[in-house]
Amino acid sequence: MPPPGAPELRGDCADCFGLCCVALSFSAVEGFPSDKGAGEPCGHLRDDFGCAVHRELRPRGYAGCATYDCFGAGQKASRHTFGGVDWRQEPATAPAMFAVLPVLRQLQELLHYLAEARALPAAHPLHTELARVYGLTERLTLADADTLLVTDVARHRAEVVAPLLARAAELARGTRPDGRTGRGAGPRRLRGADLSGARFTGADLRGADLRGARLIAADLRGADLRGADLIGADLRGADLAGADLRDTLFLTQSQLDAAKGDSTTALPPRPVRPAHWGTAP
Ligand code: SF4
């Protein structure tokens, strides 16, 4: 298994046919400056598949592009699934190529989480099983386009990957940041809860189960989130200024990029501090 953050688990726009800039739709109501339909190339996509406004995405209103992470699906679809032949050279392949991207992205995201789980010291008893499921999932990503398009990713996630990640998280959350054992100090089971706009200023959320929680624009300033499980949590616009996110589980770069923070937000070694937050003290 590759380590978390390995090149094959991160988007590499230079090795991709600009797939997310064509395949995916966006709209003004989602915070983009205009509407774009799925399968329609963005007007800023260059002939070499680079982005003409890459350095100024946020000021131009493309925060959604700045926070998107394909987990390596773009280059895998471009180079492996479609053998390096792009949709401009072979327009007939375009519909399949664009349809494959979201399928591959979901699978690559699962690989990312499995690699993260493998790196948790407390998950050591699960290493063999994590490697087996990683291999199983990776094999799915290497299938041809027709097979990918009928792959039941939701079932694979629900029946194979999610239970294993939950076990890894339980093991990790069972070791509290203060070294004592137990379910963690997080008092609330907030899994999947809609906490949009909620006020958690200075809250003790250590070890909390926040899997899939909607924390859009939540006030988490100064909150202690050490050891909290944030897999799939929606942190768009959440204010993490001064919050402690060291040892959080399954925190992704796009979650951080979509949130607000400042130089006092304490982060794990990975992901990296978003440039628009400012620098650490
Ligand atoms: S603005 Fe740039 S990154 Fe966003 S969709 Fe358009 S070309 Fe792609």
Choose one of 32, 45, 68 to mutate for the ligand 1 pocket test, by most ligand atoms within 8 angstroms of C-beta. 45
Rounded Cα distance between 22 and 35, Å, is 12
Domain boundaries, the chain: 7-173, 186-281
Closest ligand 1 atom to the C-alpha of 43? 6
Choose one of 17, 19, 21 to mutate for the ligand 1 pocket test, by most ligand atoms within 8 angstroms of C-beta. 21
Residues with a CB atom less than 6 Å from ligand 1: 21, 42, 44-45, 51, 53, 62, 65
Give the Cβ contact number of residue 203 at 10 Å. 20
Distance of CA 265 to the CA centre of its chain: 19
d(CA 43, ligand 1 centre) in Å: 8
pLDDT at 280: 54
CA distances to 38, 47, 79, 93 from 41, rounded to whole Å, are: 8, 11, 19, 15
Please determine, looking at this structure, whether the domain spanning 186-281 carries the CATH number 1.10.3720.10. Answer: no
Reference 74, options 108, 41, 48, 51; nearest CA is: 108
Instruction: Answer for the pair 210, 228: CB distance below 8 angstroms, yes or no.
Output: yes
Tens of pLDDT, residue by residue, the chain (281 residues): 999 989 999 999 999 999 999 999 999 877 689 899 999 999 999 999 999 999 999 999 998 899 999 999 999 999 999 999 999 999 999 999 999 999 999 999 999 999 999 999 999 999 999 999 999 999 999 999 999 999 999 999 999 999 999 999 989 987 544 444 344 444 467 899 999 999 999 999 998 999 999 999 999 999 999 999 999 999 999 999 999 999 999 999 999 999 999 999 999 988 889 988 876 55
pLDDT at 62: 93
The pTM of this model reads 0.90
Q: Which two tokens stand for residue 272?
A: 């990296």
Q: Whose CA is nearest to atom 2 of ligand 1?
A: 51
